[in-house]
Structure 1
């Protein structure tokens, strides 16, 4: 009986550790097509540093939909020049923030509408998938 309790505690501890390291999110919509498809599940890994081109999973500041997680590609990181398509008064991306965009820009709510994404809201990065040609 005691062995069973110890085993349950070990399993529970492992699950807690895994949840801190990985996040499973579902792709909603077509903003990341053709790289990711509506309904597809992705696993994001928490990181300390993110780069341009990384696909990240994050919680938006204000949730206008029932979607808990958003999945977008990083277009610029702190210290990078702000992309011309993002209307802002800043010449560079502020510290602790990133600019994101969907691979299917015509059907994406991204930094053009959401503004900068705070790194504290980022759950992790999805293992590398290259952006499709022309995006």
Structure 2
């Protein structure tokens, strides 16, 4: 009987340790997220399930075109693409991104732009018109959804504070036919 209790106790301890490790990984390292809406189409689709790397920005900094998840002012988590880094001047002219007066290609949008009836995905704007400053403020990012005509992003909610970032979204794991590692 003592052997049975001992074996049961070992199983319980192993289960508790496994659950603690799983909770730690989910809370501190990686978390699943479900894409809600069409603001990141065609890159991400409504209902796609992704893994968010929560430590990527603890050991590095966001880069232009990273896809990030952040706490939005409305209390929801948003998923958007980084367009402007701190100190950048951002402008769109004739559906072309200019960063610090240099044209920056957005190859991930090429195919989508061809499918738009009038051919314009991103309307002309300057950063100062959208967030009230000429450059992205220190400690902030300027983000846009890939579906520019149907996205609530920095043009509506302003620059995103770095401390609002949950992590970098870089793996779509469901549905299986969307399985992809995002660059």
Residue number in structure 1 paired with 2:11: 4
Q: Which of 65, 70, 78 pairs up with 1:53?
A: 65
Residue 88 (structure 2) pairs with residue 35 (structure 1): no
Q: Which has the higher strand share?
A: 2
Deviation string for 1:23-52 (max 9, x for gaps)?
A: 211111111111001111111102221111
Alignment of 1:48-87 (within 5 A): 48=57, 49-63=61-75, 68-83=76-91, 84-85=126-127, 87=130
TM-score of the pair, normalised by structure 2: 0.63
Residue 182 (structure 2) pairs with residue 129 (structure 1): yes
Q: Unaligned stretches of 5+ in structure 2?
A: 1-7, 92-125, 171-180
Give the drift of 1:87: 2.2
Q: Which of 7, 18, 21 pairs up with 2:25?
A: 18
TM-score of the pair, normalised by structure 1: 0.83
Look at both structures and tell me which one has the larger radius of gyration over its CA atoms: 2
Residue 116 (structure 2) pairs with residue 108 (structure 1): no
Give the drift of 1:61: 1.5
